[in-house]
Amino acid sequence: MADYKINMSKEKVKMPEQDPNIRNKNFKEVTLGYTLEMAQKEATRCLQCKNAPCMSGCPVSVHIPEFINYLVAGNLENAYDAISFTNNLPAICGRVCPQEVQCEGVCTRGIKSEPVAIGRLERFIADWYMNNSYNKPVEVTSQNAKVAVIGAGPSGLSAAADLAKMGYQVVLFEAFHAAGGVLMYGIPEFRLPKELVQKELKNVIGLGVKLQTNTIVGRTISLNDLFDQGFESIYISTGAGLPSFLGIDGENLNGVYSANEFLTRINLMKAYKFPEYDTPVHIGKKVCIVGGGNVAMDAARSAKRLGADVTIVYRRSFDEMPARIEESHHAMEEGVNFMNLHNPVEILGNDGWVNAVKLEKMNLGQADNSGRRRPIPTGEYEEVKFDSVIVSIGQSPNPLIKQTNDDIKTEDWGGIIVNKDSTMTSKDGVFAGGDAVSGAATVILAMGAGKKAAINIDKYIKEKRNKVKEELN
C-alpha cells in the first residue's frame, strides 16, 4: 500500500472545463480531465476503507481502493489493470456513469464532505492508458464454443468481452453501421467523444470478438438461424430504442422529433457537421425540449450548439427532475432556458410545420409511486412560439425480438422476461440483459447485466456439455 498523508480537504479537486460561452458553440468535450498532479491530489482524499463501501456501490465492482492506491504511488499501469479487471469500458464509465448515486454515493468521505471523485480518477487512468498505447495481450483458453451477442451497446460489449476472456468464440451482431449503441447514437460528442468509444471498442475486438454490423436479428437473420449456424448460446442486448410520445394533437407536424431520432442524426450521422456530412437536421430558431431527464439535457445542449434558442419544458420542478445535477447545471451554464411546471397539451402548426406549443401550467401535489411530487393540471394555458419540438419522455425496449419470436416472453411494456438468477429467457439457451430487460437505465447497469449474463452463459454451456458427456458414457 502506498504510504501517503490523507488529504482532508472537504471539496473535490475542481475539474477543468471549457468556458460555457465557448463550449455552447462547439461539440468538443466539455470537461477536460485531470492532470497527474490533480489526480494524485484527489486520490489522497481516499481513506482506503477496509470494507470499501464504494465497491458495493459499483454495478461492476471495480476495485476502487486498489486502483486509487496505485495512482497515488504513481503506478498507473497497475491502476489501469485494477480497473479493467472488472470494467471493460473504463474511459466511458469515467465520463457518463452517475457516480453520485453509485460508488461516490456511498463513499465514506461523503458523510461530512464531498465524496472522493472516483469517476474523474477512473477517467484519468483510462485516458492515460489510451494515450500511452499500452496493449497487453490477454491470454485465454479456447472453449471451442460459439456465442452470439445481439446488440453492440454497453451491455453487449461487456458480455462479449467477458465471454472472449473465458475463451469463447464470440460474434457481436449490430444493426447499425457502427458499434457502440447508445454510446454512439445517444450520448453527444461533447460528453463522450466518439473517437474514444471506438478506441474502447477496439480493446473488445482485440480480445478476439468478431463484429458483424448492418445485421438486424429478427429480419436479416433469426435466433433459430443462429442456433443452426452452431452458436450454443445467444445474449440479447438490443437496448431501449423505441421512443415514447406525448399522444397529443400536432405530433405529426414537421419539426417534431423524438430525442432518439434527433440525437442519432446529430451523433451517429454527424448532422452537426452538415454539409460536410450529408445528413440535414432542421431545428429552426426556437426549440422546445419536452422532458427533464439526461436525454432531454443532451438534446437541449445539442440544439443549443446548433445555434437555437432552447427551452426545456418539464411538468415538475427542479427538485423532481431526474437528470443528473451536473447535466442540468451544465445546460443552465450554457444558456438553455427552463420552463418548469408546464406540460404540452397541443402542438400547433402552420402549413404542416410547427409554429407554437400550447402549454398547461401545473402545480405539485403529493408524491406518487416514483417518490416525486405528482404534477396537477391547473386549467391555465399559454401558447409559446417554437419552430421545433423534441420529445424526450422515455424509451421502451426494441420490439423486434418480441415481434419475431413467439417463444420469448415479454412484459406488457416490452421488457424481455428473464429468470432473475440465471438471466435466461423463456427460450432455452437465450439470455437477455440491459435495457432490453429493465427498460432505459444507465450505461454501467447495462454493463453489469452483461457481466452477469456472461457468467451464466459460461455455466449453461459447460453444464450442457457435461450432460452430453454423461449420456454418451
What is the C-alpha separation between 1 and 153, in angstroms, rounded?
A: 36
Largest CA distance in the chain: 78
Instruction: Label the pairing between strands 395-396 and 242-243.
Output: antiparallel
Beta-bridge partner residues of 356? 348, 385
Query: Looking at residue 137, what is its pLDDT?
Result: 62
Instruction: Calculate the alpha carbon distances from 387 to 291, 308, 341, 346, 371 in Å.
Output: 17, 10, 21, 14, 34
Give the type of residue at 7: N
Cell of 316: 415538475
Pick the closest to residue 244 from 347, 395, 388 (CA basis).
395
Amino acid at 437: V
Residues 6+ apart with CB under 8 A from 472: none
Tell me the three cell numbers of residue 234. Answer: 445467444
* Residues linked to residue 312 through DSSP beta bridges, in sequence order: 289, 338
- Residue 369 has a pLDDT of 86
Q: What is the dihedral of CA 63, 64, 65, 66, to 10 degrees?
A: 50
What span, in angstroms and rounded, lies between the C-alpha atoms of 318 and 336? 14
What pLDDT score was predicted for residue 147? 98
Assign residue 250 a region (left: φ > 0; alpha: ψ between -120 and 50; beta: otherwise). Answer: left
Provide the β-strand partners of residue 388.
287
Of 194, 214, 211, nearest in space to 95 by CA: 194
pLDDT at residue number 163: 97
Label residue 67 exposed, middle or buried (CB < 10 Å: 0-12, 13-18, 19+): buried
Contact at 8 Å (CB) between 168 and 143? yes
Residue 72 CB-density burial (10 A; 0-12 exposed, 13-18 middle, 19+ buried): buried
- Rounded Cα distance between 54 and 119, Å, is 11
- 74 CB burial (10 A radius; 0-12, 13-18, 19+): exposed
pTM of the prediction? 0.93
- Total residues found in the chain within this entry: 473
Long-range contacts of 99-104 (CB under 8 A, 24+ apart): 100/324, 100/325, 100/326, 102/57, 102/58, 102/59, 102/444, 103/54, 103/55, 103/57, 103/58, 103/62, 103/64, 104/54, 104/57
For the chain, residues with pLDDT lower than 70 are 1, 133-143
pLDDT of 272:
87
- For the stretch 380-383, contacts whose Cβ atoms lie closer than 8 Å and that sit 24 or more positions apart, written own/partner, are 381/345, 382/358, 383/348, 383/356, 383/357, 383/358, 383/359
Q: Which helix (H) or strand (E) holds 133?
A: none
Cell of 470: 454423461
Torsion sign over Cα 282, 284, 289, 295: positive
Q: What span, in angstroms and rounded, lies between the C-alpha atoms of 128 and 148?
A: 32
Residues 6 or more apart whose CB falls under 8 angstroms from that of 439 comprise 240, 395, 396, 397, 413, 414, 415
The SS3 call for residue 156 is: helix
3-state SS class at 367: strand
- Where do the domains of the chain lie, and which CATH numbers do they carry? 20-132 (1.10.1060.10), 146-241+397-472 (3.50.50.60), 243-395 (3.50.50.60)
Q: Are 209 and 160 in contact (CB under 8 A)?
A: yes
